[in-house]
Chain A
Amino acid sequence: MARCEVKKGMFILKECSNFANQTCSKCSKSICSKHSTQIEDEVFCVECGTAKKKQQLRSLPARQRRNRNSVHDEEYERWMTDRNTHYGLWYYGIRDDFYHDSQYSPFDEQDYSGFDAESGQEFYDDTDSGGFMDS
């Protein structure tokens, strides 16, 4: 069975390890239920779903658009009010805007071996002088 192909994370991208049970109708990626969203009876991955929502917002008449916030603001409110909604769309909306604004290209899981390191180490910093910039 295929794995979900959506990449999670903001600074370091990693593959979602869930089993996929659907396919994105736009990019044909295999996706799990956590990273899928339904818009107008079509199933999208969260990335394509965010793009679709943004496109819908842009196509609204200017008067209606003025009264609405950005896609991730609306989705954030929906996530807060609905216990069963996953935060996918607003999270990916924030990520999309952030990459666009900062021109940051994130690292990929395959870029380095850091993930193999043991977790649970103590918070360690041998240069810690207690302050921030004053040392």
Chain B
Amino acid sequence: MSRKKSLEVYNSLDDEQKEIISTKKISGNQPASAWLERLKKVALMDHYGDTYRKNQTYAILMVFIGIAGFILTVICLANEFYYGLVIPVLAVIGIVLIYKSSSKFNKMDLTNHLRLFIVPLLAILKEESRKKEKIDLEINLNNPCEKDNIVETIPNSNKKYPKVKTTFYDLQWMSGKAKLQDQTQLHWTVNDLVRKRDITKKNPRGKIKFKTKYKVKHNVNLKLSIPKESYELVKNPNENQPVNGAYKMAYVSSDRFHVFKIRSTDVSATLDESVKLNHFLGTITKAYKHVKPI
């Protein structure tokens, strides 16, 4: 059902939206409402696609056809009914077709950042900025765990089990610029630093098991230039840095702006999660808490 819905949404996309799915990259400069119009359907298609992949309907179907084909082959051979061997041949063709269809479907998968973070953020920025104010966006929705993104590999050094191979990936998947209605300029980047651990274990009965574990650090870098004509500084953030390093903040005073540079990190244990919207919004408020409207 989800597959059908996903394909229906895909077929209703325009060329520009289909290009986002094939290249997995988005860039441009347009108002928030135009961004939402462009990305909402793409996010919806990804939502249905993810539901279908999560249910693994295609895998169940392939296993079912495979078992049925095998049983029929045995029955046909036992009864010397050689014309019946067409059925297992059809089963093999069926499996190949389902496999091809599912791999095509997997290629259409985008990271969940679009659905869980980018679209809700744009809805918030739409309310937060003037109607025609344009938002600059550069987005990469590729899987971060690709060869090009490897920054370090630590090979297994154990001769005995468990054997652990650790790989680090780094991908900046979003950067953006927006101007809020109070003329505050917001400039941000988000990058994912992924630690992938391939673990091979041997249990006491000698059975070997493989496991892959992920830890993802979503690093948010924000620069807020808050206009001096509208706000005054109430406390200098350079004097009260957080002790335990939940975030780092630097403050610079320019001619026209109070400039706050903030770096914070949100952690998740799977690749399916995105940086939490509340974390990102909370990072913005860290700057606003240091100023007061004039």
- Chain A residues within 8 Å of B, Cβ to Cβ: 8-12, 14, 76-77, 80-81, 87, 90-91, 94, 97-98, 101-102, 104, 107, 111-115, 117, 119, 121, 123-127, 132-133
What are 8 A-B contacts with C-beta separation under 8 Å?
A80-B119, A81-B44, A104-B285, A112-B231, A113-B230, A114-B230, A117-B230, A119-B183
B146-197 residues with Cβ-Cβ distance < 8 A to A are 177, 179-183, 185, 187, 189
In the complex the two chains form, what is the Cα distance from A115 to B183 in whole Å? 8
Q: Does B255 contact A (CB under 8 A)?
A: yes
Bound-state Cα–Cα, A14 to B131, Å: 13
Contact between B282 and A11, CB atoms less than 8 A apart? no
B294 touches A113 (CB 8 A): yes
A107 to B248, CA, bound (A): 24
CA separation between A112 and B189, bound complex, in Å?
29
Contact indicator A121/B255 (Cβ below 8 Å): no
Contact B133 A76 (CB under 8 A): no
Q: Write the residues of chain B forming the contact surface with A, with a CB cutoff of 8 angstroms.
A: 40, 43-44, 47, 119-120, 123-124, 127-128, 130, 132-133, 177, 179-183, 185, 187, 189, 221, 223, 225, 227, 229-231, 248, 250, 252, 254-257, 259, 261, 263, 277-278, 281-282, 284-285, 288-289, 293-294
Instruction: Specify which of B127, B132, B223, B230 is in contact with A91 (CB 8 Å cutoff).
Output: B127
Q: State whether A77 and B133 are in contact (beta carbons under 8 Å apart), knowing that A97-B278, A104-B289 are contacts in the complex.
A: no
Would you call B124 and A94 a contact (CB within 8 A)? yes
Whether A133 and B248, one on each chain, are in contact in the complex, defined by CB atoms closer than 8 angstroms, is yes
Contact flag A98-B47 (CB < 8 Å), given A10-B127, A113-B230, A127-B254 = no
- Residue ID in chain B nearest A104 by CB atoms: B285
In the complex, are the beta carbons of B259 and A125 less than 8 A apart? yes
Compute how far the CA of A10 lies from the CA of B123 in the bound complex, rounded to whole angstroms. 11
Beyond A76-B120, A124-B185, is A94–B277 a contact (Cβ under 8 Å)? yes
